[in-house]
Structure 1
Amino acid sequence: MTDTIDTQTDTTAGSPAGTPAASPEERPWLDPRLPVAERVELLLGEMTLEEKAGLFFHTMMTMSPDGELADANPQFGLPSTHEYVVEKHMNHFNLLSVAPDGRTMAQWHNRIQELAASTRLGIPVTISTDPRHSFTDNPGAALMAGPFSKWPEPLGLAATRDAAIVEQFGDVARREYTAVGIRVALHPQVDLATEPRWSRALQTFGEDADLTGELGAAYVRGFQGTTDGGTFGPGSVSTMVKHFPGGGPQKDGEDPHFAYGREQVYPGGRFDLHLEPFKAVFAAGARQVMPYYGMPVGTEHEEVGFGFNRSVLTGILREQLGFDGIVCTDWGLVSDAEIFGTPFPARAWGVEHLTPEERVVKILDAGADQLGGESCVDLLIGLVRDGRVTEDRLDVSARRLLREKFELGLFEDPYVDVEAAAAVVGAPELVAAGEAAQRASLTLLTHAGGVLPFAPTTKLYVEGVDAEVAGRYGTVVATPAEADLAVLRLHAPYEDRGSVFENFFHAGSLEFPDDVLDHVREVAAAVPTVADVFLDRPAILAPLAETAAAVVANWGASSGALLDVLSGAVPVQGRLPFDVPRSTAAVEASRPDVPFDTEDPLFRFGHGLSL
């Protein structure tokens, strides 16, 4: 792809009009000639306890749709931006909302940096985000793409089997992120999807440790701008790799966002296998880590959530693997909350009996540097004043957190160029690269009867496909009886759970409901049918394979991308990133920590047909 737009050369020099720039004489840590370590110590020596405590909280923030700083948000239980930055001294935020265009997002970013510059020490804000470039419908795991280019989910990137595509994605996302001031990616997710029912498989690179490590490393290089020997710095997006030490081995496939999914189990004794992808991304330069909610059961480690687990965070991560970057807990380990009107307890698995103060002490003792999704700054200040946490302990983490801001270049220039952001975000060549990746990820699982590729004269009956787009590939008709070929887009099955938030996490049965299968059979009885499945988990596809003339797997692809492949305009290239089980019984009999453990799978890892 031609690299015609790069925000590393399109940022403003200096601050927006009306914001006075501090000098190195006033604030010596602003002198770029000094080593970063010296600058950190100069700033740390000036900070009050309250200002240090603010560094330790990395929580959610919204923007107004017009790019103004947000007032208090009762829906999400969030205070105003002013309260966060000025009163609580906080300066790490996960941006929840998305504006309609890059210009508006950049304007908002500059406004929050102006607010940060007005504080006593002028410490700039670091903005982070969950994934924004793909098609997921789970805002608890990834946010809408909005104006950004659209790419397949990580499972789809894995289906391309192409590290160069993954690195290209990281580079494109880096340019779009930095254009609007986002400097930390709360991804990639290098967990191994070894339990087919687990709801978070979509954001992984699949089931294979070697492929996950290879693609995870490429992802990190692209985001951090370290391709071909490049260095981490002002043009980089720091990656927060998750979920250490691997979140795949969930008991019964349930997710530890919820109490019923808190246990991670290792009946196959493969705890160490799940560390392998982390080793690869650390070697590629990943700088931040997020431990998972889950608690290990039946291992040598304490049966508490990984964010509280000293033998995992200090023993394995810090000492065994030598990681000296930032460790930020997953969201909400300390405080109870309310989400979409439903009470939601803190994910303090194994330490539910501890008070919030005791939980914070245990998290810091475990070796974490930041509390994700929390803003209880006064609680931490009280622990220091009561002598339960030393200020020296705060300084250990504060050094890491300040170092990252300095190395990202935020102290030199925290602002972004609004006009450059308008040009970069959603630029045509970036959109085209994402669409090419969508096509490359599509995976043909079955093909009978020679119905593909279809001809331009084909009469098409479509469901879940944009009819206007389909009209460019054939003649769209109203019923299966009129058609030469039907194309049905389906979603992999999941169970309806008890709350709105739970239903964002597609969990439970992998079997299609009878009404869905009956409908496919009805259409297939009238006309040869292609079933395209959004395979966010490895569903039981045998009934579809028996009925449809062709079955396709996708992990985020537009109607045009799908029809390009089905019509033969581009070759089908994708390969499965996991095994597809033959039955529920095989899934239930498999060991959650062991890859490729379902007996006699319907399709094996790497399967994919050509036309």
Structure 2
Amino acid sequence: MQFISIRSAFLTMLLSFGTGTATICVQAQTATPPQLGRRSAPLLVQNGQTFKDLNKNGKVDPYENWTLPTDQRVQDLLKQMTLEEKVGFMLISTTRLAGDFSFQAGAPKATISSGFNEEDLVQTTNMFSRKPLPVPIMSASGTTKAVREKQLRHFILRANTSARILAEWSNNLQELCENTRLGIPAIVASNPRNHITIDASIGLSVGETTFSKWPGELGLAAMRDLKLTREFAEIAAKEWSAVGIRKGYQYMADLATEPRWQRIEGTFGEDADLAADMMREIVLGFQGKKLGTGSIALTTKHFPGGGPQVAGQDPHFEWGKDQHYPGGMLDYHLKPFQAAIDAGTSAIMPYYAKPIGTEYEEIAFAYNKTILKDLLRGKMGFKGIINSDTGPIEMMPWGVENLSILERYQKAIECGVDLFSGTADPTLLLETVKKGLVTEARIDESVTRLLWEKFELGLFENPFVDVDAAEKIVGNPQFQERANVALRKSIVLLRNQSNLLPLAPKTKVYFEKYYNSGRTDKPAVVLQPETNRWNLEFVSTAQEADVVVLWLVPSAGSLFASAGGPIELDLSKNKIDIAHVNALTSQKPTVVLINYTSPWIIEEIDSTPLPTVLATFSTTADAVLDVVSGNYNPTGKMPFSTPISRQAVLENKSDVPGHLKTNGYALFSFGDGLSYPGK
């Protein structure tokens, strides 16, 4: 869109972004007009400026007037909203594209397109524990009904499809919203989309996508490069906004202090200071110094830190509902959250767990006034949105199981929750207000925060995206080139005792990646690059090789496959064939790479210490070969400590980082990492 400045009241042509239609407006000298994206909303000219008539009443209401302060616009719109519209505004739920059957077990496979999935999805059992629910929960609504009847405007996008389809769908959704009574746009959220990851379960990560592909979050931390971390976030923000995703359910400020917790893959490691630095760069990269038209509003999670779970069990399940601090280090876990708050994170998500053995009430964090009001808002100064995790009302109400659904809503709202994730049905929340358990004035507080975010993001002026541009922006070669640097910087050289690395030119290499995903009967895959730019000779058997490069990818399986049993970190318990590994390492000089999504115990293959060991945190085979060949000199540092034995795990204090644990806890310590001398 282009604006031509002319003195006085000469007319200029404004092309409405994404519509191909035109209107006449006057550009004032005192303000820079925003791009106005519309599909059907009329345009009005007032005082030489052009505005969208979102409520179609023939005049420019304050909420439609982009020259006014945000708080004035928010208050005007709030006064025009009905109670039903306000209550619908406080829910965020999964939305699905045509052909997308997320959460539907056994659904037929279909091609995802940019249309709407118009089916309601109602659950009668907990999607995580598979236990009966106290009341059925509508986890997803048919899109048109969600917008027009349920008044929903916050949505979580789970679909993994092309940039073009995502952008087209986003425009279709915003057009649907524009055609409602007040024309309030939607905001679309997503879990991470830019990382190579092992557990891509719904709710954790979207997995590998068409977006630029970076190392996992642990790998970003292993780089120890804050400038590149900021660049990653800025690049990802451009890709997300290009397809219409404007809210991130990310990143995790939790610390990896309990090695058995199965969500460590999504953290920035065990050290509070490093994680705080990472969170600051991530928030500023995605959001900017303040929310604006190019920002992705982040939801930092899971307050006050989900790392120190009892025995590593996760509070998605009843057997993991307790969180403890045997080392007395709760304040240590708050540091990354404080950094995110200071950087301006738009929202905070409390976890499901309840603290035990602390000064705080033993009740789930979403219901915990001392945690949310006294600590988060009071002591730490957070003024943004408190967004519940998925399903604390119906599925994970730890500590308030005896309360009715209405009473749970009442308590959570009293404690400060503004946005409830997991349900697409506002009926029970509306009933909570109508029965006087929550005042409309308190509802207005939450809706004010939610509206503020939308106005600051510029969604009222232009929620539409350029579909052709999205295809060019998402995953473009320039972005991937920067990601490729990160993929190499994330690799950590832990041992090189015989100076086997870097490999000499013309070395005969047998390169095997061992990953048992549970979907194959052949977990060992021989990697033989089609294009050999490493001056190595790749062979098809270990017997032919001078050196074996063995890349192990342990897998605990999905978090949501948990059955409550003890969590083991031994390689043999995580789908690695120990006999196969030991047979290879005993035959030939072997470079062993281990992909760490958890702090694995490697004593089964390390009884006689392996001379050459590297750590990866979800990277590519090309990046691995660049490091082992010497094309790239490794610089990565471990983001957490790895336990030396199972006994060390059993004796560990869950809230204490590995580098502060005593009694010889670590085999590899936080910060370990070598480089090749003389390179």
* Structure 2 CA distance for aligned equivalents of residues 422 and 177 of structure 1: 12
Measured at CA, do residues 359 and 547 of structure 1 come closer, stay the same or move farther in structure 2, by a change above 3 Å? same
- Which residue, 614, 620, 631 being the options, matches 1:558? 620
The 3 A distance-change label for structure 1 pair 148 and 360 is same
Q: Tell me by how many angstroms 1:191 deviates.
A: 0.9
Equivalent AA in structure 2 for residue 551 of structure 1: V
Q: Is 1:29 matched up with 2:58?
A: no
**Quick one: structure 1 residues 425 and 220, their matched pair in 2 at CA, closer, same or farther if it must change by over 3 Å?**
same
1:460-494: CA deviation from partner (whole Å, max 9, x where unpaired): 21222642358543333221111112122212353
| Residues 1:173 and 2:222 are matched in the alignment | no
Q: State the 1:352 CA deviation.
A: 1.8
- Measured after TM superposition, the shift of residue 598 of structure 1 is 5.3
Aligned-pair distance for 1:128?
0.7
Aligned AA (2:85): E
Secondary structure (helix, strand or coil) at the match of 1:561 reads helix
Q: Do structure 1's residue 149 and structure 2's residue 212 form an aligned pair?
A: yes
Letter in 1 for 2:370: S
**How far apart, CA to CA, are the structure 1 residues paired with 2:537 and 2:141?**
53
The total of aligned residue pairs comes to: 584
The 2-side partners of 1:316 and 1:470 are apart by 56
Distance in 2 between residues matched to 1:255 and 1:467, nearest whole Å: 39
Question: Per-residue displacement from partner, 1:167-216 (whole Å, max 9, x unpaired)?
Answer: 11110111001111111111111111110111111111111111111111
Q: 1:504 Cα shift?
A: 12
C-alpha separation in 1, matches of 2:604 and 2:532: 29
Greater CA deviation, 523-532 or 561-570? 523-532
- Does structure 1 residue 538 correspond to structure 2 residue 587? no
Structure 2: unaligned runs, 5 residues or longer: 1-15, 19-34, 44-51, 99-111, 124-138, 514-525
Of 142, 145, 164, 1:80 maps to: 142
Once residues 613 and 153 of structure 2 are traced to their aligned partners in structure 1, the CA distance between those partners, rounded to angstroms, is 48
Q: Which residue of the partner structure matches residue 131 of structure 1?
A: 192
Q: Determine the structure 1 residue equivalent to 2:305.
A: 246
Residue of structure 2 in register with 1:599 after alignment? 663
TM-score for both structures, normalised by structure 2? 0.83
Residue correspondence of structure 1 range 472-511 to structure 2 within 5 A: 472-473=533-534, 474-492=536-554, 494=556, 501-502=560-561, 508-511=567-570
Alignment deviations for residues 371-427 of structure 1 (CA, whole Å, 9 cap, x no partner): 111223011111111111111110010100001000000001111111111111011
Which runs of no fewer than 5 residues in structure 1 stay unpaired?
A: 1-9, 336-345
* Residue in 2 that maps onto 1:418: 467
Worse overlay, 383-392 or 444-453? 444-453
Per the alignment, residue 399 of structure 2 pairs with 350
Q: Of 226, 232, 244, which residue of structure 2 is paired with 1:163?
A: 226
Q: Deviations over 1:505-550 (max 9, x none)?
A: 9981111118622111101122211221110111112343436442
Deviation at 1:116?
0.5
| Cα distance, 1:118–1:250 mapped onto 2, change above 3 Å | same
Q: Tell me whether 1:216 sits opposite 2:279 in the alignment.
A: yes
Q: Distance in 2 between matches of 1:598 and 1:479?
A: 43
Look up the SS of the partner of 2:88 in the other structure.
Answer: helix
C-alpha distance in 1, partners of 2:122/2:479? 34
In the alignment, is residue 462 of structure 1 matched against residue 511 of structure 2? yes
| Dislocated runs of 4+, deviation >6 Å | 504-507
- The letter of the residue matching 1:522 is A
2:37 maps to a residue whose letter is S
Cα distance in structure 1, aligned partners of 2:114 and 2:427? 29
CA contact (8 A) 1:535 1:553 kept: yes
> Counterparts of 1:142 and 1:493 in 2: how far apart (Å)?
16
- Structure 2 vs 1, CA of residues 250 and 562 (structure 1 numbering), >3 Å: closer, same or farther? same
Q: Structure 2: which amino acid aligns with 1:124? A: P
Supply the AA of the counterpart residue of 1:315.
D
CA distance in 1 between partners of 2:539 and 2:610 (Å): 19
The one-character-per-residue Cα deviations of 1:47-105 (angstroms, maximum 9, x if unpaired) are 001000011101111223222222326598522111211111001111000212x2221
Say if 2:633 is the partner of 1:571.
yes
Cα pair 1:326 1:400 within 8 Å, conserved: yes
2: CA distance between counterparts of 1:554 and 1:32?
Answer: 48
Residue identity opposite 2:169 in structure 1: W
Please name the residue that 2:443 is paired with. 394
Higher strand share: 2
Counterpart contact for 2:283–2:298, Cα < 8 Å: yes
Is the aligned partner of 1:439 residue 2:488? Answer: yes
Matched to 1:363, the amino acid is: A
| Cα distance in structure 2, aligned partners of 1:463 and 1:507 | 30
SS in 2 for 1:444: strand
Secondary structure (helix, strand or coil) at the match of 1:300 reads coil
CA RMSD of aligned residues (A): 2.2
| Matched AA of 1:291 | P
1:147–1:501 CA distance, 2 compared to 1 (3 A):
same
SS at the partner of 1:233? coil
Conserved 8 A contact 2:216-2:619: no
Contact 2:355 2:363 in 1 (8 A): yes
| Match in the other structure for 1:60 | 94
Q: Are 2:253 and 1:190 equivalent residues in the alignment?
A: yes
Distance in 2 (CA, whole Å) between partners of 1:31 and 1:52 is: 21
1:105 aligns with 2:166: yes
The whole-number CA distance in structure 2 between the counterparts of 1:375 and 1:356 is 15
SS in structure 1 at match of 2:390: coil
Question: What is the CA-CA distance between 1:569 and the residue it aligns to?
Answer: 0.5
Letter of the 2:96 partner, please give it: T
Map of 2:319 onto structure 1? 260
SS in 2 for 1:330: strand
Task: Name the CA distance, whole Å, in 1 between partners of 2:417 and 2:271.
Answer: 28
1:101-149 deviations in Å (ceiling 9; x for gaps): x222111100000001111111100011111111113223111231100
Aligned to 1:118: 179
* Correspondence for 1:316 among 361, 364, 375: 375
Structure 1 length-normalised TM: 0.92
Higher-RCO chain (CA-CA 8 Å, sequence separation at least 6): 1
* 2:269 match: secondary structure: coil
Q: Distance in 2 between matches of 1:225 and 1:321?
A: 21
Equivalent position SS for 2:241: helix
2:451 maps to amino acid: L
